[in-house]
A = this chain, B = another copy of it.
């Protein structure tokens, strides 16, 4: 009998996030067997060939059988369907977590799928990723020194929370806990809003008559600024609808401040402009450059 942290892990959705988790746990010797689950046999076959998973099932009910850890790494819009397929197989030894970028919607999906919320369910969200997607982009170091936010429910058992925390720590990540509401507000500000701005900016420019010249004259700063607009459209469609309320609130807050800046430019209000830019530069330099972010990921 193995002494590993996880005996049988089921990763549902073996892409960048799920695949990197499986790779990291294997590399750490923290998992005995990894079962991949998903809809596309070709992707799962690829994941097996890459050694990311040991075997796979396209039937989720079969895939989770006998698993002591099940990780949902599917788009937010698919969570409820997946929970429904897990429900009949649920047991006290099966810890369930997810990697969704909006936690309120995951809990609503679980509430809709289960008669009652299982005490083995612990929602989570790794603050990590690249603009790439797919198992080919996965790598074992993705979570190294990254934050994982867990949002345990009132129903979550201590042992389930501990097991999920240990899983992420085995990947080299730092685990923090917060409330679902707080998570969703902070992520709307720091991740979901910037993605909306990047998508919206690139689309605005792409619709202009001079689009060829516009992109042609774009310098390096533009490429950095718009990198997140290369993220997966389907995934981000799900995220912005799943966190609709907090996100729309943040868009409105941002739009208001941008209009103030625009008015200041129109009316030649030097003080307002200089103060805004200076505050922003100070905040950005203070918070971002001091952080130990792994540059190789960017």
From the candidates B191, B252, B285, name the one contacting A230 in the complex (CB within 8 A): B285
Total chain A interface residues with beta-carbon distance under 8 A: 95
Whole-angstrom distance between the Cβ of A221 and the nearest chain B Cβ: 5
A150 interfacial by beta-carbon distance below 8 Å: no
Q: Of B198, B204, B234, B244, which contacts A257 at CB under 8 A?
A: B204
Among A29-37, A116-124, A267-275, the stretch that binds chain B is A267-275
Contact A228 B224 (CB under 8 A): yes
Chain B residues near A228: list those with CB within 8 A: 221, 224-225
Check B128 against A219 for contact (C-beta < 8 Å). yes
Which B residues are CB-close (under 8 A) to A93?
A: none
The A interface is mostly helix, strand or loop, or mixed, namely helix
Q: Bound state CA distance, A149 and B193, in angstroms?
A: 33
This chain: copies in complex = 2
- Whether the Cβ atoms of B266 and A233 lie closer than 8 Å is no
Q: How far is the CA of A150 from the CA of B280 in the complex (A)?
A: 32
CA of A277 to CA of B234 in the docked complex: distance in angstroms?
A: 8
Which chain B positions have C-beta within 8 A of A4? Answer: none
A40 to B149, CA, bound (A): 49
Given the known interface contacts A219-B127, A234-B274, the answer about A202 and B265 at a Cβ–Cβ threshold of 8 Å is no
Q: Report the Cα distance A196→B261, complex, angstroms.
A: 8
Q: Mark A169-197, 1 if CB is under 8 A from B, else 0.
A: 00000000000001001110111011111
Interface flag for A208 (CB, 8 Å) = yes
